[in-house]
Amino acid sequence: MKKLLFVVLATMLCVAVNAQTDQGGKFVGGTLKVGTSSFFNPDSIGYFKGNNFDFQIAPEFGYFVSDNFAIGASLFFGTSNEKLFDEFLNLEKTQKISELSFGGGIFGHYFIELNKKLYLSFKGTLGYYNTKGETSITTPPYSGLPLTTIVGVSTTSNAISFNILPSIEYFVSDNLSLSLSFGNLYLSQIWTKNLLLTTPSSFSTTDFGIDLDLSSVKFGIKFFMK
C-alpha cells in the first residue's frame, strides 16, 4: 500500500513583518489531501484485490484574539472511491463515499513557542458534516445475461463532532508556516438514515476515541498578515 499526501497553497500573501502569533494578527491557509492505496492478496477469500482514491480539501481563516491564541472558521469537502474485485466470481464491487460540510466548523488554535521558528500547537474544532455513502455490485455480462448493477447500501449521515489535533508548526518566514499534524482526539454524534427503505429509518451513534492511523497525518500551510 502506498499513500500520497500533499498540500494546496492558499492564495493570499502577507506584507507585515511582525511576530507571527501576536494579538490582532490573521492567517489564511488550508490543506489538500490526495491519497491512493491498493492491495493484492491471492490467498484471501472473496475480494482479493482493489484500490482506493481519497480526496479532501479544507480551507481556513483565523484571527488572533490574544498572543498565541487564534479563533477561526474552516470548510471541508471530501470524497472517497473504492473498488474491490473478485476474480473467482467475476464480480466487481464499487463502493463510493462522499463527504461534504455545510458551513464547516469553528476552531480555537493555541500556539506554544519552542523557538522563534518552531511552535507546538493544538487545534480544537467544533464542526457539522454531512456524509452520503453508496455501495453497489456490478456483474459483467455472463452466459447471455446483461451487465447488471445492484445498489446494496445507500445512506446519508449528519454529524456534529469535536476534534483536537496536535501539530508542529515551522515558520519558513514571518509570513509563511508549514505544519505537520498526527493523531486526532474526537467526540462525535452521528445520525444516519437508510435511503433504500420505503420509509427511511434513522438511528444515532456516539463515537469517542483517539485516531493514530497514518491516515490522520496531514500537512498544512498558513499565510500570516497584520
**For the chain, percent of residues with pLDDT exceeding 70:** 77
8 in a structural domain: no
Question: Using CA of residue 134, residue 137, residue 140, residue 141, what is the dihedral sign?
Answer: negative
183 in a structural domain: yes
Nearest to 106 by CA among 55, 57, 70, 65: 70
| CATH label of the domain that carries residue 157 | 2.40.160
Highest mean pLDDT among 12-21, 126-135, 142-151, 212-221: 126-135
Which residue type, as a one-letter code, is found at position 45? I
Which residue type, as a one-letter code, is found at position 5? L
Tens of pLDDT, residues 82-114: 877 776 555 555 555 556 677 789 999 999 999
Phi, psi of 113 (to 5 degrees): -75, 125
Confidence of residue 187 (pLDDT cuts 50, 70, 90): very high
11 in a structural domain: no
| Count of structural domains within the chain | 1
Task: Note if the pTM is more than 0.75.
Answer: no
Q: How far is CA 39 from CA 33, 83, 97, 133, 194, in A?
A: 20, 11, 19, 22, 29
Q: Which residue has the cell 438514515?
A: 193
Confidence of residue 31 (pLDDT cuts 50, 70, 90): confident
98 in a structural domain: yes
**For the chain, percent of residues with pLDDT exceeding 90:** 34
**Residue 102 belongs to domain spanning:** 26-225
Q: What is the pLDDT of residue 11?
A: 33
Q: What is the pLDDT of residue 5?
A: 37
Q: What is the pLDDT of residue 6?
A: 37
**Is the separation of the CB atoms in 167 and 220 below 8 Å?**
yes
Q: Region 71-77: what's the mean pLDDT?
A: 93
Nearest to 61 by CA among 10, 128, 14, 120: 10
Tens of pLDDT, residues 151-186: 777 888 899 999 999 999 999 998 999 998 888 899
Tens of pLDDT, residues 42-58: 655 555 677 788 888 88
Q: What is the pLDDT of residue 89?
A: 53
150 in a structural domain: yes
- Backbone φ/ψ region at 103: left (φ over 0), alpha (ψ -120 to 50), beta: left
Q: What is the pLDDT of residue 145?
A: 67
147 in a structural domain: yes
Q: Region 52-81: what's the mean pLDDT?
A: 90
Does residue 2 surpass a pLDDT of 90? no
12 in a structural domain: no
Confidence of residue 63 (pLDDT cuts 50, 70, 90): very high
63 in a structural domain: yes
Q: What is the pLDDT of residue 65?
A: 96
* Whole-number Å distance between alpha carbons of 65 and 28: 15
* Whole-number Å distance between alpha carbons of 213 and 202: 29
